[in-house]
Amino acid sequence: MIDEQASRTAVLVCQGRAVGDGRLAVGRFADPVAVQLLRDDERAEVASARAGEVPSGWRARMRYEMLNATAAVLVTRTVAIDDAVREAGNPQLVVLGAGLDARAWRMAELAGTVVFEVDHPASQGDKRARAEGLAAVAKSVGFVPVDFGRDALGPALAAAGHDPAVATTWIWEGVLPYLTNAQVESTLAVVAERSAVGSRLVATYPVHNRVAVLGRRALRVFSRLTGGKDPLEHERHISAWTPEQMGALLSGYGLTITADRDLHDIVRELGISARESRFYGLGRIAVADHTE
């Protein structure tokens, strides 16, 4: 993401959750807050995708297909992450690269939890403006502005009131593809340093997927040909891991993987059609605990 520009991917992710609310994985997924975080034009696109009527025109059709594919991805990983957060039940929750995450406003299970949202200052400013007037259900929500390429995460969390002696659940959702190895390692060092026994890291990560790479390139070219804007223009995937590599990475920071699943398996369990989302790639979700 470029400096001083709020993340467009965060908007797309929020739209995906809004498209899926009440339509996908009913009984396992619900996010009525997502649509409230969107602007009027963004809500209109969601309404079109939810209507199920394929629009005419290539640009509108591309947006329609992207939003429905994004919904399949987002509903799937949201269910998996929320389950892991509930299971841990920790009194602190840190959302790394929070974007337009709505958990502090929709998860009743966080009523006794102190939530810290960490994100780029530009994206966080946009989030705070969008969330103004919404009542959080979490015990409290603290906003921690951090540019991962420049700022030190540890001191920022300490200044915000995060207590390293209290168990923390860390959510790292949809962020790892955009980080360099050095940024990943420096973030994990802080997570390890500030994780009391009982802490948990829940991270989604991309695997090497040639089809997904081609899909993103095709989206870029198609956007140019139709006069549209590539929503991922400034947020390129630069990193990917195998499950073995991810396990070794996390264990090096004292975290023991207790689950590492292909999100396609969860898609099938939830009965979600993921034909389009396979083209973009779903990746995996790892749950790792600090047990000693």
How much is the pLDDT for 100? Answer: 97
How much is the pLDDT for 137? Answer: 98
Strands 284-289 and 256-262: antiparallel
Alpha helices in 196-271 (DSSP H): 210-225, 243-251, 263-270
How much is the pLDDT for 227? Answer: 55
How much is the pLDDT for 1? Answer: 42
Residue 122, both tokens: 């530009």
Q: Letter for the amino acid at 155?
A: P
**Can you name the CATH fold of 77-289?**
Rossmann fold (3.40.50)
Alpha helices in 89-115 (DSSP H): 103-106
Q: Letter for the amino acid at 89?
A: G
How much is the pLDDT for 239? Answer: 80
**Residue 78: how many other CB atoms lie within 10 Å:** 25
Rama region for 143: left / alpha / beta (φ>0; ψ in -120 to 50; rest)? beta
Strands 284-289 and 200-205: antiparallel
How much is the pLDDT for 229? Answer: 56
Q: Please write the tens of the pLDDT for every residue from 189-213.
A: 999 999 999 999 999 999 986 544 4
Whether pTM > 0.85 for this model: the answer is yes
Q: Please write the tens of the pLDDT for every residue from 122-148.
A: 999 999 999 999 999 999 999 999 987
Crossing angle (nearest 10°) for helices 40-51 and 58-88:
90
For residues 127 and 117, is the Cβ–Cβ distance under 8 A?
yes
Domain ranges across the chain: 77-289
**Neighbouring residues of 228: CB distance < 8 A, sequence distance ≥ 6:** 59, 62, 63, 222
Residue 247, both tokens: 């396990």
Q: Which of 28, 26, 50 is nearest to 38 (CA)?
A: 50
Q: Which of 61, 9, 28 is nearest to 272 (CA)?
A: 28
Q: Which of 284, 278, 267 is nearest to 214 (CA)?
A: 278
Tens-digit pLDDT profile for the chain (292 aa)? 433 445 788 999 999 999 999 999 999 999 999 999 999 999 999 999 999 888 787 778 888 888 998 999 999 999 999 999 999 999 999 999 999 999 999 999 999 999 999 999 999 999 999 999 999 999 999 999 998 778 899 999 999 999 999 999 999 999 999 888 999 999 999 999 999 999 999 999 999 865 444 444 444 544 455 455 555 554 555 789 999 999 999 999 999 999 999 999 999 999 997 654 444 467 999 999 998 8
* C-alpha gyration radius of the chain: 18
Within its chain, how far is the Cα of 33 from the centroid? Answer: 15
Q: What's the rounded Cα separation, in Å, for the pair 177 and 280? A: 13
How much is the pLDDT for 228? Answer: 57
Q: What's the rounded Cα separation, in Å, for the pair 163 and 181? A: 27
Q: What's the rounded Cα separation, in Å, for the pair 292 and 251? A: 12
Q: What's the rounded Cα separation, in Å, for the pair 93 and 82? A: 12
Residues in the chain: 292
CA atoms within 13 A on the CB side of 233: 12
How much is the pLDDT for 35? Answer: 98
